[in-house]
């Protein structure tokens, strides 16, 4: 070892440069642990190594929402609907590297929001494809993308539908395959039979019996010409409730096919006959009703009513100042109604609840939804005077306004105004024009030291920033902190400290108009 200090310092500098330039993890390993991966904002994005459940691998965490998938196409198939996705995303976005799947959601309701109970299938490949989903009635379908961390796309695809299962038509049925034992009771309904599907060769002898047909399921367009023959009908199978009005015509019945044993007593009634059977006849009377009491329909010169067994009723009042349809309570003391109002050329619609008494004020009110001449309102009004009292929603082409007792929210062109004595956010307030975070600076003692943050997308035309150091020695060790270069993408933070202690600095950028 040289004795002079200069030679020793030179050797130490050489060893230090060699150590700095050599690989840091050339012979490193993780022993019973994991490495957390964070993004530039300090958010955990992945865990590499041994996981909490004892397994090992890479687990994605807090991934950004995947892009919105394009809307699917729907095709009717037997027993359901075929859903096809082209593997593309809205705005021509590319498939993210952490793609997991695209969920298929279906509901009978248009514009529904996807939930766990609406998911019926998935596309596991980003190339798309076609998947069948079971359906007994027309459905609406939306797609929702998810990444490996379970994060869903910002919103589902547009709603497509309704599309229902394909009907079974004559070409799908082998000759003579339909026999009595193949048909469940009440299985044959009008919706299940395609036009002209019932032909002589499709129905086995004696297969059509009374219990196989639902009420009014047999209509003229469902039966092929001369398809009904004697051997196709079981004894007494044709009853009045099985035949739709005007369903029996000469072209549908082969000569001699219908015999006395096939027709139940009283089954041929006026409504089963062709309209010409009573052509030119007029029924006149002050009141026409289906029964003297109990459930019944009552038609008079002034109104039409349907009365239930409990006394409640539905009625039409065409002769009132504003014609309306009403639904009455059982005791007849209260009514909900839909009425038409306005000038002679208007057709404004009001949907009104039954009246009720406010226990605090003692006043009598009802709720009304009103579709007016280019405006809409949902409001609580007085029974006398129709004055709005309480919460109210008002919409027209220029404004949307939600009003309450002492406060309101008004939306106009590019402007939202909240007016109230006090405005509170129940929870965490988030805004695209505000970004916050924490950065670490290792300062050079007694010299301003900076760190620059980029990659942001903070809304606003002008931006300002606020920074504060996390320290217990302000004015002693930490003498100053400041910012420069504030923009929508980031800023530069400056720290002046008397030593080289790592210091956390909290920062916030706000965008303004």
Residue 6: pLDDT band with limits 50, 70, 90: confident
- Tell whether the model's pLDDT for residue 254 goes beyond 90: no
Of all residues in the chain, what percent carry a pLDDT higher than 90?
Answer: 43
- Tell whether the model's pLDDT for residue 507 goes beyond 90: yes
Mean pLDDT for 395-399 is 94
Q: Where are the strands (E) in 246-317, listed by range?
A: 287-289, 296-300, 304-307, 313-317
Q: Which of 64-68, 211-215, 450-454 has the lowest mean pLDDT?
A: 211-215
- Tell whether the model's pLDDT for residue 438 goes beyond 60: yes
Q: Which of 282-291, 345-354, 450-459 has the lowest mean pLDDT?
A: 282-291
Mean pLDDT for 228-242 is 57
pLDDT tens readout for residues 73-93: 999 998 899 999 999 999 888
- Tell whether the model's pLDDT for residue 253 goes beyond 80: no
Mean pLDDT for 466-491 is 95
Residues whose CB falls within 8 Å of the CB of residue 312, separated by 6 or more in sequence, listed in order: 327, 328, 329, 330
Higher-confidence residue of 346 and 204: namely 346
11, containing H or E segment? helix 5-21
CB 300 within 8 A of CB 287: yes
pLDDT tens readout for residues 363-388: 999 999 999 999 999 999 999 988 99
Residue 149: pLDDT band with limits 50, 70, 90: confident
- Tell whether the model's pLDDT for residue 260 goes beyond 80: no
CB 367 within 8 A of CB 380: yes
d(CA 210, CA 241): 10
- Tell whether the model's pLDDT for residue 262 goes beyond 60: no
pLDDT of amino acid 2: 63
Residue 481: pLDDT band with limits 50, 70, 90: very high
d(CA 45, CA 38): 5
Higher-confidence residue of 185 and 333: namely 333
- Tell whether the model's pLDDT for residue 32 goes beyond 80: no
Q: Which of 123-127, 223-227, 309-313, 422-426 has the lowest mean pLDDT?
A: 223-227
Residues whose CB falls within 8 Å of the CB of residue 61, separated by 6 or more in sequence, listed in order: 44, 45, 46, 47, 149
Q: Which of 133-137, 205-209, 480-484 has the lowest mean pLDDT?
A: 205-209
- Tell whether the model's pLDDT for residue 39 goes beyond 90: no
pLDDT of amino acid 221: 62
Residue 240: pLDDT band with limits 50, 70, 90: low
Strands 99-107 and 139-147: antiparallel
Closest CA to 75 of 84, 66, 62: 84
Residue 356 DSSP code? E
pLDDT of amino acid 278: 41
Mean pLDDT for 32-36 is 73
pLDDT tens readout for residues 307-366: 888 889 999 988 888 889 999 998 889 999 999 988 888 889 999 999 999 998 899 999
Mean pLDDT for 149-158 is 89
pLDDT of amino acid 277: 46
Mean pLDDT for 139-163 is 91
């Amino acid at each position: 070892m040289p004795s002079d200090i200069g030679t020793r310092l030179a050797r130490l500098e050489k060893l230090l440069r060699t150590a700095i330039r050599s690989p840091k993890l050339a012979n490193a390993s993780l022993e019973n642990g994991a490495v957390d991966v964070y993004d530039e904002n300090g958010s955990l994005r992945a865990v590499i190594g041994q996981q909490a459940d004892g397994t090992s691998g890479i687990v994605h965490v807090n991934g950004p929402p995947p892009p919105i998938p394009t809307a699917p196409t729907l095709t009717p198939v037997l027993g359901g609907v075929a859903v096809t996705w082209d593997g593309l995303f809205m705005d021509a976005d590319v498939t993210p590297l952490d793609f997991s799947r695209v969920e298929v959601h279906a509901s009978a309701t248009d514009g529904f929001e996807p939930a766990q109970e609406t998911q019926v299938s998935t596309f596991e490949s980003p190339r798309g494809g076609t998947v069948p989903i079971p359906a007994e009635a027309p459905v609406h379908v939306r797609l929702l993308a998810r990444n490996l961390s379970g994060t869903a796309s910002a919103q589902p695809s547009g709603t497509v539908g309704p599309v229902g299962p394909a009907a079974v038509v004559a070409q799908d049925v082998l000759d003579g395959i339909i026999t009595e034992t193949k048909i469940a009771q009440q299985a044959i309904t009008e919706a299940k039979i395609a036009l002209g599907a019932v032909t002589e060769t499709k129905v086995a002898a004696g297969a059509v019996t009374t219990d196989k047909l639902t009420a009014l399921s047999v209509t003229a367009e469902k039966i092929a010409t001369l398809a009904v023959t004697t051997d196709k009908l079981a004894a007494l199978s044709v009853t009045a409730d099985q035949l739709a009005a005007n369903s029996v015509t000469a072209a549908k019945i082969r000569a001699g096919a219908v015999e006395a044993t096939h027709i139940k007593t009283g089954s041929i009634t006026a409504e089963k006959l062709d309209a010409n059977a009573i052509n030119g006849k007029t029924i006149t009377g002050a009141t026409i009703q289906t029964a003297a009491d109990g459930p019944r329909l009552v038609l008079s010169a002034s109104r039409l009513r349907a009365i239930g067994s409990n006394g409640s009723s539905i009625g039409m009042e065409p002769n009132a100042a504003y014609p309306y349809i009403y639904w009455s309570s059982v005791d007849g003391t209260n009514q909900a109604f839909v009425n038409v109002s306005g000038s002679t050329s208007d057709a404004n619609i009001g949907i009104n609840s039954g009246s009720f008494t406010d226990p605090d004020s003692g006043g009598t009110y009802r709720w009304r939804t009103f579709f007016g001449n280019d405006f809409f309102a949902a409001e609580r009004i007085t029974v006398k005077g129709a004055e709005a009292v309480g919460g109210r929603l008002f919409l027209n082409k220029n404004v949307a306004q939600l009003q309450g007792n002492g406060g309101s929210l008004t939306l106009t062109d590019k402007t939202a105004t909240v007016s109230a004595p006090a405005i509170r956010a129940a929870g965490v307030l988030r805004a695209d024009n505000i970004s916050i975070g924490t950065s670490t600076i290792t300062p050079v003692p007694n010299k301003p030291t900076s760190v620059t943050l980029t990659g942001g997308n903070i809304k606003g035309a002008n931006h300002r920033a606020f920074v504060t150091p996390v320290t217990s020695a302000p004015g002693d060790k930490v003498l100053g902190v400041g910012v420069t270069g504030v923009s929508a993408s980031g800023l530069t933070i400056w720290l002046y400290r008397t030593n080289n202690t790592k210091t956390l600095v909290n920062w916030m950028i706000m965008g303004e108009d």
